[in-house]
Chains A and B, each alone.
Chain A
Amino acid sequence: MAVQTTFDFDQMLSSAKEAYGEELLKMAEEGFDFVFTYSDNVAPSTAAGKLTQNYPERCFNFGIAEPNQVGASAGLALAGEIVFAQVFGPFLPLRAADQIHTDIAYNDVNVRLIGTHSGVTAGGGPTHNDIADLALYRAIPNLTVVVPADAGQCRKIIRASMEYDGPMIIRIDRAGSPNVYADDNYEFTIGKAIETIEGTDVTIISTGSCIYECMMASKELQKDGLSVGVIDMHTIKPLDKNAIVKYSNKTGVVVTVEDHSINGGLGGAVAETLCEAGFCGKFKRIGMPDEFAVLGDPDEVYKYYGVERVGIAKTIRKMMSK
Chain B
Amino acid sequence: MSEIKLERVKELDDKCLKIRKDLLNFIYQIGMGHLGGELSMVEIAVALYYEYMNFDPKNIEMVDRDRLVLSKAHCSETLYTIYSDLGIYTMDYMVEHFESLHTAKFGMHCNRKYCEPIEVSTGSLGHGLPVAVGMALAARKQKAPWRTFVITGDGELDEGTNWEAIMAAGHFQLGNLVAIVDKNQVQMTGTTENVMSLDPLAPKFEAFGWEVIEIEDGNDMLQVCEAFKKIGPAEPTLRQKPIFIIANTVKGKGVDFMEGNPKWHGGGIAKKQLDEALQQVEKNRMVR
Binding site for B on A (CB under 8 A): 35, 57-58, 60, 62-63, 65, 67-68, 70-81, 98-99, 102-103, 106-108
Q: Is B121 interfacial (CB 8 A cutoff)?
A: yes
Given A98-B124, A102-B124, A107-B120, answer yes or no on A68-B138 (Cβ-Cβ < 8 Å): no
Interface residue from B113, B127, B135, B164 paired with A102 (Cβ < 8 Å): B127
List the B side residues contacting A77 at CB < 8 Å: 134
B142 touches A80 (CB 8 A): yes
Given A65-B164, A78-B119, answer yes or no on A71-B141 (Cβ-Cβ < 8 Å): no
Interface residue from B120, B121, B141, B165 paired with A68 (Cβ < 8 Å): B165
CB proximity to A under 8 Å, residues B140-187: 141-142, 160-161, 164-165, 167-168, 172
Q: Is B131 interfacial (CB 8 A cutoff)?
A: yes
B120 touches A78 (CB 8 A): yes
List the A side residues contacting B172 at CB < 8 Å: 60
Indicate the member of B131, B139, B172 with the most A CB atoms within 10 Å. B131
Q: How far is the CA of A75 from the CA of B148 in the complex (A)?
A: 10
A103 touches B164 (CB 8 A): no
* A-contact bits for B102-140, CB 8 A (1 contact / 0 none): 000000000011000001111110010111111111110
| Residues of A contacting B: mostly | helix
List the B side residues contacting A102 at CB < 8 Å: 121-124, 127
Q: How far is the CA of A58 from the CA of B134 in the complex (A)?
A: 11
Q: How far is the CA of A60 from the CA of B135 in the complex (A)?
A: 13
Interface residue from A67, A75, A79 paired with B142 (Cβ < 8 Å): A79
List the B side residues contacting A68 at CB < 8 Å: 130, 133, 161, 164-165, 167-168
B134 touches A74 (CB 8 A): yes
List the B side residues contacting A71 at CB < 8 Å: 127, 129-131, 133-134, 161, 165
Q: Taking the nearest CB of chain B, how far is it from the CB of A250, in angstroms?
A: 41
List the B side residues contacting A75 at CB < 8 Å: 120, 130-138
B127 touches A103 (CB 8 A): yes
List the B side residues contacting A79 at CB < 8 Å: 67, 134-135, 138-139, 142
Chain A residue nearest to B132 in the complex (CB): A75
Q: Taking the nearest CB of chain A, how far is it from the CB of B244, in angstroms?
A: 17
Q: Taking the nearest CB of chain A, how far is it from the CB of B5, in angstroms?
A: 34
List the A side residues contacting B135 at CB < 8 Å: 75-76, 78-79
Q: Taking the nearest CB of chain B, how far is it from the CB of A270, in angstroms?
A: 32
Q: How large is the interface on B (under 10, 10 to 19, 20 to 34, 35 or more residues)?
A: 20 to 34
Binding site for A on B (CB under 8 A): 67, 112-113, 119-124, 127, 129-139, 141-142, 160-161, 164-165, 167-168, 172
| Residues of B contacting A: mostly | helix
A72 touches B119 (CB 8 A): no
Q: How far is the CA of A81 from the CA of B141 in the complex (A)?
A: 10
Interface residue from B113, B130, B139, B142 paired with A103 (Cβ < 8 Å): B130
List the B side residues contacting A98 at CB < 8 Å: 124, 127
Indicate the member of A70, A75, A103, A108 with the most B CB atoms within 10 Å. A75
Q: How far is the CA of A99 from the CA of B133 in the complex (A)?
A: 14
Q: How far is the CA of A81 from the CA of B136 in the complex (A)?
A: 12
Q: Taking the nearest CB of chain B, how far is it from the CB of A104, in angstroms?
A: 10
A62 touches B168 (CB 8 A): yes
B137 touches A67 (CB 8 A): no
B141 touches A103 (CB 8 A): no
Q: How far is the CA of A81 from the CA of B164 in the complex (A)?
A: 22
Q: How far is the CA of A57 from the CA of B143 in the complex (A)?
A: 11
Q: How far is the CA of A76 from the CA of B139 in the complex (A)?
A: 8
Q: How far is the CA of A81 from the CA of B135 in the complex (A)?
A: 9
B123 touches A72 (CB 8 A): no
Indicate the member of A58, A71, A77 with the most B CB atoms within 10 Å. A71
B113 touches A72 (CB 8 A): no
List the A side residues contacting B113 at CB < 8 Å: 108
List the A side residues contacting B133 at CB < 8 Å: 68, 71-72, 75
Q: How far is the CA of A103 from the CA of B172 in the complex (A)?
A: 21
List the A side residues contacting B129 at CB < 8 Å: 71
Given A68-B161, A99-B127, answer yes or no on A106-B121 (Cβ-Cβ < 8 Å): yes
- For the complex of A and B, list the 10 residue pairs with the smallest distance between their C-beta atoms, beginning with the closest: A75-B134, A71-B130, A79-B138, A72-B134, A68-B164, A75-B131, A65-B164, A76-B134, A75-B135, A68-B130
A74 touches B142 (CB 8 A): no
B134 touches A73 (CB 8 A): yes
- List 24 A-B pairs, Cβ < 8 Å: A35-B137, A60-B172, A63-B168, A67-B130, A67-B160, A67-B164, A68-B133, A68-B161, A71-B165, A72-B131, A72-B133, A72-B134, A72-B137, A73-B134, A75-B132, A78-B134, A79-B135, A79-B139, A81-B138, A81-B141, A99-B161, A102-B127, A103-B127, A103-B131
